Amino acid sequence: MADHPVDEKLPALKMATTGLQHVAAMYAGVVAPPLIVGAAIGLTATDLTFLTGACLFTAGLATFLQTLGIWKIGARLPFVNGVTFAGVAPMTAIVASTEDKSDALPIIFGAVIVAGLLGFMAAPVFCKAVRFFPPVVTGTVITLIGISLLPVAFGWAQGPDPAAHDYGSATNLGLAAGTLVVVLLLRRFTRGFVKQIAVLLGLVAGTLIAIPFGATDFGPVADAAVIGFPTPFHFGAPQFQLAAIISLCVVMVVSMTESTADMLALGEIVDRPADERTIAAGLRADTLGSAISPLFNGFMCSAFAQNIGLVAMTKIRSRYVVAAGGGFLVLMGLCPMAASLIAVVPRPVLGGAGVVLFGSVAASGIQTLVRAGLEKDNNVLIVAVSLAVGIIPITAPEFYHAFPETARIVLDSGISTGCVAAVLLNLVFNHLGRRDRDAHDVTHPMEAGEEITGVTRAPAAP
């Protein structure tokens, strides 16, 4: 019996290049949190480089746990793991509340360890939520994942620094557009292996195009060391403060919710639906990876939604490809000079490729919704309201400004709020009192009312 495509082992060259594509797709997301938190603490350039390399290294270890797995740990799906962006706001809040900034990272690391261990123990219970994720819910959440990621791509397209004079300039947007065009042309007019690595080739082409415009900086390569190891507890032994622990435990719940949605999404895309057992194993990998990460000076880890789009677009479903990407992450963590090579890729170039990647995620969600029974008005209302709730943080970022910071950790995640809304609405409309409220097939989400002049209403389905 042939192996499922998820378990397929590709030739070495193809494995390496497609694995590198995954690294390129998520690199900016991994290095952004340590750069932001490190800058808030006031780390030196050397320590900031060390912290960034440590996060790359621990992302690779967590990816190994997720893709290859040991015992009951790891979803064994093509998932890349890395630093969750959900933790940035509470971590910077911890930094701001710490008088001696040298204690900030040890306090963060201690809180991450506790949150990771508690999450690991909760995984078998948390995974049972899968029964509340029918296609109408998963399709909505997958669509929200893609929509929520698109602003990241748009931000990258404008440039790396919002305060810079060229942020959003015609040059930056032109580089993003040029990269997007290269990817689209490669996808349209090539076939086979070249077509599958179109994103990677697009990034290389975009970087080369950026050189004459002075947008490519090779300084990081020249200044980087060849070899460097993330020494355990480089910034000091972990400290355990209750407020910090509670704050990052909330982040862990958010992260587990998003990871559950991501696993359901990826399961649909690779044609291996994620059941309770798979989700429990995946959550164990996330949480154990998070608990181990501070040992090597890394932050909380979570499955990266960015790479779902790459799997959907390339149709390469092998988990070993993503494991190869994890290997590159480990190597970059051990070799700062290697890590700096991907740092050379200009942010606008990443933005152009991101439009394709993240848009593919949203398209996959729409495909799932097509199978969700949208001819039933109950399901249409579930999707409509859940999408609206999930899009609030994107379209109105200050909508929840009056809420406590801990509540905003959840509310500012459109994926989490949209997911919760979809689950609750599905329970209300499709489960509670079901015999009394069977959905009727309609062509419009609203109840039939008076006819609009000049419009003939289609007859109701029998």
Which pLDDT score is estimated for 163? 82
pLDDT, tens digit (0-9, with 9 covering 90-100), for 234-292: 888 999 988 788 878 877 877 787 788 788 878 888 888 888 888 899 999 999 999 99
Q: Let me know: does 183 contact 356? Beta carbons within 8 Å.
A: yes
List the one residue out of 418, 337, 430 whose CA is nearest residue 384: 418
Q: Considering only 297-306, 344-353, 408-417, which range has the smallest mean pLDDT?
A: 408-417
Go through the chain and tell me how many residues it has.
462
* Main-chain dihedrals φ then ψ at residue 81, nearest 5 degrees: -110, 145
Q: Let me know: does 173 contact 157? Beta carbons within 8 Å.
A: yes
Please check the confidence at residue 185 and state whether its pLDDT lies above 90: yes
pTM of this structure:
0.67
Only one residue has tokens 């950026």, namely 210
Please check the confidence at residue 139 and state whether its pLDDT lies above 70: yes
Which pLDDT score is estimated for 8? 80
Q: Considering only 168-172, 406-410, 438-442, which range has the smallest mean pLDDT?
A: 438-442
Please compute Rg for the chain using Cα positions: 22
| Domain edges within the chain | 5-434
Taking CA atoms, 326 is separated from 19, 58, 318, in Å, by 8, 9, 13
Helix (H) or strand (E) holding 275: none
Alpha carbons 274 and 96: distance in angstroms, whole number: 40
Please check the confidence at residue 408 and state whether its pLDDT lies above 90: no
Helix (DSSP H) and strand (DSSP E) numbers for the chain: 18, 2
Which of 140-149, 361-370, 389-398 has maximum average pLDDT?
Answer: 389-398
Taking CA atoms, 339 is separated from 49, 80, 83, 228, in Å, by 10, 17, 16, 11
Grouping H, G, I as helix, E, B as strand and the rest as coil, residue 115 is helix
Which pLDDT score is estimated for 61? 92
Beta-carbon contacts of residue 426 (< 8 Å; ≥ 6 apart):
132, 134, 136, 137, 382
Q: How many whole angstroms from its chain centre is CA 252?
A: 14
List the one residue out of 33, 55, 61, 111 whose CA is nearest residue 286: 61
Taking CA atoms, 64 is separated from 70, 329, 337, in Å, by 9, 10, 22
If one counts every other C-beta atom within 10 angstroms of the C-beta of residue 353, the result is 29
List the one residue out of 249, 221, 260 whose CA is nearest residue 132: 260
Beta-carbon contacts of residue 14 (< 8 Å; ≥ 6 apart):
193, 196
Helix (H) or strand (E) holding 82: strand 81-83
Top pLDDT among 289 and 376 is at 289
Q: Let me know: does 293 contact 64? Beta carbons within 8 Å.
A: no
pLDDT, tens digit (0-9, with 9 covering 90-100), for 190-228: 876 677 677 778 888 998 999 998 888 777 677 667 777
DSSP letters along 280-297, please?
A: HHHHHHHHHHHHHGGGGT
The angle subtended at Cα 410 by Cα 406 and Cα 413, nearest 5°, is 135
Q: Which two tokens stand for residue 399?
A: 């909508």
Which pLDDT score is estimated for 449? 36
Q: Let me know: does 308 contact 120? Beta carbons within 8 Å.
A: no
Burial of 439 per CB tally in 10 Å (0-12, 13-18, 19+): middle
Taking CA atoms, 252 is separated from 114, 279, 346, 408, 419, in Å, by 10, 15, 31, 14, 16
Kindly indicate the confidence band of residue 120, based on its pLDDT and cuts at 50, 70 and 90: very high
